[in-house]
Every structure is written in structure tokens, then in C-alpha cells.
Structure 1
Amino acid sequence: MTQCIKQFTLCILMLLSLFSASVSAEGIKLKSADLERADSDWLLNATFQIELTPGLEDAVQKGVVLFFQTEFDLTRSRWYWFDEKPVLAQRLTRLSYQPMTQQYRIASEGFTFSAKTMFEALQAVGSIGGWKVIDSNQVDQSKSYTAALRMTLDLSKLPKPFQVNALNNRDWNVTSDWVRITFLPNGPNLIKR
């Protein structure tokens, strides 16, 4: 009898570990990002890995438009006053499904893309290239700053009935962690690889 209980407990633990691994796979994770200098500006190139829950994928298939907000900020610590925030940049990317063409549409900053699969669509949403985030007159070349980057699913842009559901459902709270690095205007600035 005790052998049977041990086997049952082992099976339950294995199932729970598989379930927790599948749950933790969903969300947004920063895969790589770097800041490159172009003339007097700094451009951000980043790649996020986005994995939606089955409920969110189903909502998109049924016509709910999802908005992903990418946030970048630059701060400089000051011991004598509040931190200086010379840069706060936000970018909104829209993901929708078109049932007539059976394609996903991704729109961001005046550009529109189409994708045949959800995987391709999420790759397009998570790819940021050449986004101007810093103008050289916003930073002092001799100072050190902290650059921070994250991407979230913007729940405030959902239709009102879905906003109520999203507040009560963890599956709808999709966000990446803030990733912070030291930014030196005169040095290489790799955020993550």
C-alpha cells in the first residue's frame, strides 16, 4: 500500500512539474537588444520572444485586437535630488486577425505587416529594428546612465468587457521583466544577447 502511495505521489509531482514548466513558458522574454549610434541619434534593436496563452490566442482568432507596448527609459542617478529622466520612449504595436484573408496583421509606427501563422505574427511583434530612442542632445556624453527596456500587453486598449476579464485572469497579464544596463554615450551598449 505504501509503495502505491509513493508511486501516486511521484506521478502527481511529475505532472505538477510539467504543468509549471508549460505555464512558465508563456509570456514575454527579451532575447537580445542593443543600442547603436546613427549620426547624432541612438537606435534600439531588440528581439522579444512572445508566447501567448491558449485563451489569448483564441481571443485574437475571434477578433480581439491586442496592443503590445514597448517602453524604453533612460535615467541618471543624482545623490542630491530625484533621478534625472532625460528619455522615456513608448512604442505601440497592434496585432489583429483578418478572417477573410486568414492572416494576422501587425501594425506599428506607420508600418503594416501580414503573417500567415500566429508564430510568425508574434515574431514580427517582438522584433524591433532601428527605433530612435535617444537624441544626442538629451544626454551628456561624459555621464553614465541606466537604460531600461520592457514589453507588455496593454490591457487598457482592450474592449471594456475584456478589460474586466483581464483584471481577474492571470492569463491576460503578459509582460516582460524590466531589463536594465549601464548606458555610456561614448561606449558599446549591448543590453542583452
Structure 2
Amino acid sequence: MLALRGFQGAKRCCVLIAVVCLLAIPNLALAYTTVELQDLKLERQDAALSMSANWRFDLPSALEDALLKGITLYFVTEVEITQERWYVYNQRVAQAERHVRLFYQPLTRRWRVNISPQPFSVTGLGMSLGQSYDSAEEAMGAVRRIVQWRIANATDYNPEAKQTISINFKLDLKQLPRPLQIGATGQSDWNIGFSKTQRLELTP
């Protein structure tokens, strides 16, 4: 049993080393991954302010290869609502995070997506919702899709005040194993992100 565990540990190390070596090879022909925010809806429902939207982006082939080699990818959406004040700085009204964990299970040939309000490096899988999918495209659909995500209390919204909402989305490199964090830094395939700030107005 100890020998088997040692073999599995060595195998994981070999996978990490192989992926890091691939990342170390620069590919200047690859461009920054374009991310678009579509179908954004900000709604007030009962006691909550919710957000629905779709992220539109294609997963670079380097990341697809990493997933098939057993590397887990993490995506995070961050929302912050602020209210303008005539003195000093704007006031933060609300803040929310949505962390998504995507990985491939070779034994079952299925894809797994977990969603958590906090980084998985902090909570593990204890507070997450998870679902399995038969294909990578189905799993990526779950990664891209946000449905009635609670981002604030309904009382945080003040239509009489000037409030703004900042929406940020990225591939979270900080939750990758340390060797991958170093190898992915500066690589265009791993540079997936979106940032936007706009006036907070509820969808009619």
C-alpha cells in the first residue's frame, strides 16, 4: 500500500513537471484570451440582489491539455458595489465572490464542476456545490453561466444614490500548485480576465 501511494505521488509530481516544462516554452503567436460579458441581468428578488450573466470565451488548447493531464483549473468572479460620497472615498456597499473549480476525472471520463463563495484553498469542498458532466463543453457551460447569483442584500440597493458595480472575472492562478503558478505567469494562454465598472441599475 505504501509503495502504491509512493508511486501515485511520484506520478503527480511528474505530471506537474511536464506541464511546467510546457509552460516554459514561449509561444508569441498566441494572443490574450478575449472574454465577453453577455446577457447581464441585475435583479431584486425578495431580500436579495441577484446577478445573472454568461461569460463568452474559448479555453485555449494549452489549458485543455493541462486538464486532461490532471491539472485542476480555478475561475473567480468578483463583484463590488460602491456608493459615491461627496467626501473622502466612495463607500463599499457590498462585495461577493464566486469561485469555480473545473477538473477531469480520467477513471470515469467525466468532468466535474464545483462552485463556492470562497477560495477552495481555504474551504476545500465543504461549502461548494458540485455536478458532473459527460463532456468538456457541458462542463464549460456551467463555468460560463451565472444564474441568479446573490451578490448583495436587497436593502443595499439605493435607487436615489449614485451606485456603481464593478465586475471582475479571471482564471485564478493563485489556487494552482506552486510550480504551475510560476510556470503560468506571463503566458498568454493562462491570462484570462475581464474587468468592467458601470452604473448600478436593475434590469427592467
Bigger radius of gyration among the two? 1
Specify the TM-score bucket, using the shorter chain as the normaliser: 0.7 to 0.9
The correspondence of residues 125-136 of structure 1 with structure 2, limited to 5 A, is 125-136=143-154
Structure 2 CA distance for aligned equivalents of residues 75 and 126 of structure 1: 25
Would you say the 8 A contact 2:110–2:135 is kept in 1?
yes
The CA deviation at 1:141 is: 4.3
Query: Larger % of strand: which?
Result: 1
Call closer, same or farther: CA 1:144–1:168 in 2, change over 3 Å.
closer
Would you say the 8 A contact 2:171–2:193 is kept in 1?
yes
Structure 1 CA distance for aligned equivalents of residues 39 and 166 of structure 2: 13
Which stretches in structure 1 are left out of the alignment for 5+ residues?
A: 1-18
> Deviations for 1:159-185, whole angstroms, at most 9, x for unmatched residues?
111000111312111112x2232114x
Question: How large is the Cα RMSD of the aligned pairs?
Answer: 2.0
Deviates more, 1:132-141 or 1:82-91: 132-141
Would you say the 8 A contact 1:27–1:52 is kept in 2?
no
Give every structure 1 segment of 4 or more consecutive aligned residues whose post-TM-superposition deviation is greater than 4 Å.
Answer: none
Which stretches in structure 2 are left out of the alignment for 5+ residues?
A: 1-27, 117-127
Matching of residue 150 in structure 1 with residue 168 in structure 2: yes
Percent identity, aligned pairs only, is: 30
Matching of residue 189 in structure 1 with residue 203 in structure 2: yes
> Corresponding residue for 1:6?
none
Q: TM-score, normalised by structure 2?
A: 0.74
Structure 2 CA distance for aligned equivalents of residues 36 and 140 of structure 1: 13
Structure 2 CA distance for aligned equivalents of residues 165 and 118 of structure 1: 24
DSSP 3-state at the match of 2:64: helix
Aligned length: 166
DSSP 3-state at the match of 2:193: coil
Q: TM-score, normalised by structure 1?
A: 0.78
